[in-house]
């Protein structure tokens, strides 16, 4: 989902009344970022509070490449990483993940081995259908074991776009919340639905309800579901004791637009890129009785802050033995404070850009290669900013391209290298970058090796269902990451 | 000002709390249009309820050219046109224009000859400063006579961007409202400030207050002024008896961006074009006690509707002896109805495009000529949609380019000519266009002839101020309209 997909963020169809209402009752973050323009690293960052380059969710197979966790990925979240649910357990929290995990699907990476108590969802994206020969269909898990596979037991009709998955995920959330309220135990619910990701789907009741086509139908269903979850919290009388945050893991995939892709508003390009459209996200904090209704914040925020903020809410400290990139947003949310902090934009092993205040400096620019672009893969359709949306990796480390995101949110007009404004902004930014790089200790890259043998052939529980498949012989290779 | 310039419409800096509040208390129009992508024709359409091609505010000097009323224009609003204030007089209204008139500056076009009772403002844009030899500086009028000139008596500091004009216009509005309230006479106030038009200015108190630079400072000052006007109505106890509508006369001039140009959100291109960025406008209706707070409408609306709607509010009928393009929006505003009506996008003498429902068909496409473009005049900076943002006038009358503005508000993905959707949408649209063209009676074009002798050399009242200038000899020529 992109920054521009909600009515509250200016989507012209304004079809998200529940999320808009959530914003009206809570706090809207206008300058909130994911930690990576791609799903798996972004989610790893959210749950660890650390940049992907630290927690291992990146590749060194080639320079500045996005990587994620397809079925043949060998790596996953390292045991050495401390995840938010692991830490929340210490404060008595019961933790549930509903939806897409995406932090590795091999046994050692199972979410219940990393702090979650319950799971209903899938380890990977709902790509398919597959023939169960070259590729197995993606399994859905309930807790430790699989309970079926997408397209087989959980239907997704690619022709009509119909699938009731969001409804399943919604019901699961409502049930979990009811159960936790009844048992009086604090809980952490990570509601990581995969709707709006291509192939886009929506339930029958939502099909054809949007001006925006199928993608809009999916957004409407998410909006409706969020509304039901918030009302459920209110009806149970626990809304004033429950902190809710809504955001997305990367910008809208313009490559799938218009049929399966959303909107990044007026920001440049989309998913896969380190331009604003790839990483600035819609974000809303909600906590009736604590957050002043209708608040708006320009705090530079990150999904990694949800790690530190959640710990803070639980009365816990972030681990002191490692670098944590997330900051505690409670002073922002509760007292309207603004804290000075940079945003780093990474693509794989490269820091492509950094934002300090309203300035954003690009040290490297690249959308994708000419080779990929010539195949029709366009991350910036209808947009071309000379020297910025480049199809070769352009190095600007000596003289970064500098944009003022207040005057130029679309990153169209780089500041003159000879201006005083450039000089003084870059002085400040260079110090931030220098410090960042000097203290950077990259983690062991987890997204380098791929092997068809590790795919979801025989997940735990497959025997009970008669759904075990025979894996091919192991043949580990360097994963190919084209962009 | 563009569709994307207000917080309520998704401007990322969200710096328009008063206009956002006006929307929260009133009704937000998301699909509201001007009648032309340029100032004079748009304003003539607003005040006559008629398309510029009917009321004469267009040119036939060349095909599909935008034209307006610079100082050397010979034409203006014809006496045969009935303006909103002329009609409102019949219902006892006192009418005032504050700000830019732009419907012709020669004596016969004076606003007080066309129904206004009072005027404080200028006949033309605040371009300058001029040397009073080749070009005279633009005069400001109070009622019948000039009271000074821009840059001479009304300072605009082009270096700092400081000018207190919006404050003067605000005070004039507050005073007029107070006077009308005291005298218990109904009033029509046309608050046509010229801030945000280049050269952009703001008062000292607003300079440097926006994230967006000088343009944002000007927007903030307008926002603040609107807030003060609305509060004034409330304080006087007449807000429930006063209908207020906020909108703009054309899309943001991206050619002036980023320093002097605003935002059209995610819409294509800007001022001067018939893409959405050129003609879709921010629009808010406000009438406490009558309009349900927080309403949102997808009614296709037009500035011309303000003519018919205002008459309706005053209990008057639109003139029956001529084609009126504006419709009465009261059923939309008061009862939430939706009415089927097309939007026509003209450039000069050509119907470039039409919107019917969510479909928009382009019969002609053009941004500007290669010649102008090569000089750096770019109406679509950073945007290029092949075959759409063309630099030659492309005719599509036989097979129009069709876009679905719900799925594709950015006009990036024309529908396939062979699709069923194209066929059925075009059937409907063709009928609308056929009917429109069959009944079209163009007015006498007013924007064809230019003559330096008609400039603001010696406006009425110049003698009292010692500010009369000697005009050159009359030398009428065809005006040159490059785009």
Quote the CA–CA distance of A243 and A434 in Å, as a whole number: 36
B433 touches chain A (CB under 8 A): no
Tell me the shortest Cα–Cα distance from B453 to chain A, in angstroms: 40
- Give residues 340 to 379 of A whose Cβ lies within 8 Å of B: 358
- Whether the Cβ atoms of residue A32 and residue A304 lie closer than 8 Å to each other: no
Question: B11 to chain A: which residues are within 8 Å by CB?
Answer: 10
Nearest chain B residue to A296 by CA: give it: B14
Q: According to the annotation, is A18 in a ligand binding site?
A: no
pLDDT digits (tens, 9 = 90+) for B158-208: 999 999 999 999 999 999 999 999 999 999 999 999 999 999 999 999 999
Kindly list the catalytic residues of A.
39, 102
Considering only CB atoms, A9 lies closest to which of B10, B407, B408, namely B10
Min Cα separation A331/chain B (Å): 21
Q: Using a CB-CB distance cutoff of 8 angstroms, which residues of chain B are in contact with residue A282?
A: none
Query: A405 contacts in B (CB within 8 Å)?
Result: 12
CB-CB neighbors (< 8 A) of A263 in chain B: 266, 409
pLDDT tens digits along A158-176: 999 999 999 999 999 999 9
Q: What's the mean pLDDT when you consider all of chain A?
A: 97
Asked if B274 and B360 touch (Cβ cutoff 8 Å), the reply is no
pLDDT, residue A154, reads 98
Residues of B in contact with A265 (CB under 8 A): 10, 12, 265-266
- Chain B residues 7-66 with CB within 8 Å of chain A: 7, 9-14, 28, 30-31
**Domains by residue range for chain B, with CATH:** 7-339 (3.40.720.10), 347-439 (3.30.1120.10)
Which residues 437-476 of B are in CB contact (within 8 Å) with A? none
Residue entry with tokens 């200016």: A10
CA dist A291 and A286 (Å) reads: 7
B-chain CB neighbours of A14 within 8 Å are 28, 30, 296
Query: Residue B176 in contact with residue B186, Cβ under 8 Å?
Result: no
- Partners of A296 on chain B (C-beta within 8 Å) are 7, 14
- Angle at Cα A336 formed by Cα A330 and Cα A337, nearest 5°? 80
CA distance B250 to chain A (A): 17
Q: How far apart are CA B37 and CA B344, in angstroms?
A: 11
Nearest residue of A to residue B6, measured between CA atoms: A10
Backbone φ/ψ region at A315: left (φ over 0), alpha (ψ -120 to 50), beta: left
Judging by beta carbons within 10 Å of its beta carbon (0-12, 13-18, 19+), is residue B237 exposed, middle or buried? exposed
**ipTM of the complex model:** 0.94
Terminal Cα distance for chain A, rounded? 20
Contact B212, B118 (CB under 8 A): no
pLDDT value at position B206?
Answer: 98
Cβ(B186)–Cβ(B314) below 8 Å: yes
- CB-based contact B40:B479 (threshold 8 Å): no
Closest residue in chain A to residue B409, using alpha carbons only: A12
The shortest C-alpha distance from A18 to chain B (Å) reads 14
Mean pLDDT over A395-416 rounds to 98
- Closest by Cβ to A265, choosing from B212, B258, B265: B265
A100 — phi, psi (to 5°)?
-85, 125
Contact present, B390 and B366 (Cβ < 8 Å): yes
Task: Encode pLDDT of B2-40 as tens digits.
Answer: 999 999 999 999 999 999 999 999 999 999 999 999 999
Whether A383 and B383 lie within 8 Å, measured CB to CB: yes
- Alpha-carbon torsion B366, B367, B372, B376, what sign? negative
Provide the 3-class DSSP secondary structure of residue A55. helix
Taking only the tens of pLDDT, chain B with its 483 residues reads 999 999 999 999 999 999 999 999 999 999 999 999 999 999 999 999 999 999 999 999 999 999 999 999 999 999 999 999 999 999 999 999 999 999 999 999 999 999 999 999 999 999 999 999 999 999 999 999 999 999 999 999 999 999 999 999 999 999 999 999 999 999 999 999 999 999 999 999 999 999 999 999 999 999 999 999 999 999 999 999 999 999 999 999 999 988 899 999 999 999 999 999 999 999 999 999 999 999 999 999 999 999 999 999 999 999 999 999 999 999 999 999 999 999 999 999 999 999 999 999 999 999 999 999 999 999 999 999 999 999 999 999 999 999 999 999 999 999 999 999 999 999 999 999 999 999 999 999 999 999 999 999 999 999 999 999 999 999 999 999 999
Output the pLDDT for position B420.
Answer: 98
Closest CA–CA distance from residue B100 to any residue of chain A (Å): 26
Cα(B180)–Cα(B200) distance, integer angstroms:
31
The maximal CA–CA distance of chain B, rounded, in angstroms, is 69
Question: What are the chain B neighbours of A268 within 8 Å (beta carbons)?
Answer: 382
Q: Minimal Cα distance from A407: which residue of B?
A: B212
Determine how β-strand B343-347 pairs with β-strand B139-142.
unpaired
A296 touches chain B (CB under 8 A): yes
Whole-number Å distance between alpha carbons of B260 and B243 = 31
**Is B190 at the interface with chain A, CB within 8 A?**
no
When CB atoms are compared, the residue of A258, A266, A405 closest to B413 is A258
Contact yes or no for B258 and A407 at CB 8 A: yes
With cut-offs at 50, 70 and 90, classify the pLDDT of residue A46. very high
Residue numbers of A between 245 and 274 with CB closer than 8 Å to B = 257-259, 263, 265-266, 268
DSSP reduced 3-state for A281? strand
Six token digits for residue A428: 């400040």
Structure-token match 């009415």, residue found:
B339
What whole-number distance in Å separates Cα of residue A468 and Cα of residue A261? Answer: 34
The closest of A31, A186, A198 to A96, measured between CA atoms, is A186
B94 secondary structure, DSSP code: E
Answer for the pair B277, B270: CB distance below 8 angstroms, yes or no.
yes
Written as six digits, the tokens of A339 are 């804290």
Find the residue in A nearest to B403 (Cα): A258
Work out the minimum CA distance from B458 to partner chain A, whole angstroms: 40
The answer for A 199-228 residues in CB contact with B (under 8 A) is 210-213, 215-216
Residue with tokens 């000018």: B163
Instruction: Calculate ∠ Cα A429-A435-A440, nearest 5°.
Output: 125
Cβ contact, residue pair A210, B410, below 8 Å: no
- A351-383: burial string, b at 16+ Cβ within 10 Å, e else: bbbbbbbbbbbbbbbbbbbeeeeeeeebbbbbb
Q: Which residues of B are annotated as a binding site for Ca(2+)?
A: 39, 249-250
Residues facing residue B97 across a β-bridge? B119, B190
Partner residue opposite B381 with nearest CB, options A216, A263, A412: A412
Q: What is the pTM of this model?
A: 0.96
Annotated ligand binding at A61? The verdict is no
Residue among B210, B298, B383 minimizing CB distance to A382: B383
Size of interface A-B (CB pairs under 8 A): 109
* Cross-chain Cβ contact A10/B11 below 8 Å: yes
Q: H helices of A128-210, where? A: 165-183
Q: Of A9, A258, A384, which has the smallest distance from its Cβ to B382's Cβ?
A: A384
- Please tell me which of the candidates B4, B405, B413 has its beta carbon nearest to residue A10: B4
Q: Given an 8 Å threshold on Cβ–Cβ distance, is A263 in contact with B266?
A: yes
> CA triplet A124, A125, A130: central angle to 5 degrees?
95
User: Both ends of chain B: CA-CA distance in Å?
Assistant: 20
- The enclosing H or E element of B464 equals helix B462-465
8 A C-beta contact, residue B31 and residue B280: yes
> How near does any CA of chain B get to the CA of A386, in Å?
8
Residues of chain A positioned with their CB less than 8 A from the CB of B261:
none
Specify the pLDDT at position A409: 97
């Amino acid at each position: 989902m992109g920054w521009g997909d909600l009515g509250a963020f200016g989507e012209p169809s304004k079809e998200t009344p529940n999320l808009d209402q959530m914003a009206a009752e809570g706090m809207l973050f206008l300058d909130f970022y994911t930690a990576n323009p791609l799903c798996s690293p972004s989610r790893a960052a959210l749950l660890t509070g650390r940049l992907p380059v630290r927690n291992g969710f990146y590749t060194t197979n080639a320079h500045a490449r996005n990587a994620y966790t397809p079925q043949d990925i060998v790596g996953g979240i390292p045991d050495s990483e401390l995840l938010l649910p692991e830490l929340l357990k210490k404060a008595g929290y019961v933790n549930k993940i509903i939806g897409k995990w995406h932090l590795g699907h091999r046994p050692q990476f199972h979410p219940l081995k990393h702090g979650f108590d319950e799971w209903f969802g899938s380890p990977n994206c709902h790509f398919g259908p597959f023939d169960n020969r070259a590729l197995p269909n993606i399994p859905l898990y309930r807790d430790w074991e699989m309970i079926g596979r997408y397209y087989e037991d959980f239907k997704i009709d690619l022709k009509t776009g119909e699938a009731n998955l969001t409804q399943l995920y919604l019901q699961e959330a409502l049930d979990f919340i009811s159960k936790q309220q009844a048992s009086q135990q604090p809980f952490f619910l990570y509601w990581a639905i995969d709707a709006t990701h291509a192939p886009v789907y929506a339930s029958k009741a939502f099909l054809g309800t949007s001006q925006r086509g199928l993608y809009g139908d999916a957004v409407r269903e998410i909006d409706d579901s969020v509304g039901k979850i918030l009302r459920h919290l209110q009806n149970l009388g626990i809304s004033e004791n429950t902190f809710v945050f809504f955001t997305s893991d990367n910008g809208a995939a313009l490559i799938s637009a218009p049929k399966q892709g959303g909107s990044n508003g007026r920001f440049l390009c989309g998913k896969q890129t380190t331009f604003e459209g790839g990483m600035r996200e819609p974000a809303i904090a909600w906590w009736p009785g604590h957050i002043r209704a209708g608040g708006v914040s320009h705090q530079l925020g990150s999904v990694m802050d949800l790690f530190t903020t959640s710990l803070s809410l639980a009365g816990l400290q972030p681990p002191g033995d490692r670098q944590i990139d997330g900051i505690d947003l409670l002073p922002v949310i509760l007292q309207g404070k603004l804290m000075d902090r940079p945003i780093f934009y990474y693509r794989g092993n490269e820091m492509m850009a950094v934002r300090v205040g309203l300035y954003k400096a690009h040290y490297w620019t690249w959308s994708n290669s000419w080779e990929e672009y010539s195949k029709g893969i366009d991350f910036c359709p209808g947009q071309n900013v000379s020297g910025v949306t480049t199809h070769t990796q352009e190095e600007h480390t000596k003289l970064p391209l500098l944009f003022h995101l207040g005057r130029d949110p679309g990153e169209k007009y780089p500041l003159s290298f000879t201006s005083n404004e450039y000089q003084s902004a870059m002085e400040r930014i260079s110090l931030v970058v220098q410090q960042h790089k000097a203290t950077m200790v990259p983690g062991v890259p987890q997204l380098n090796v791929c092997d068809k043998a590790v795919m979801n052939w025989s997940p735990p529980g497959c025997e009970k269902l008669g759904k075990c498949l025979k894996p091919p012989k192991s043949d580990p290779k360097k994963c190919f990451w084209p962009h």
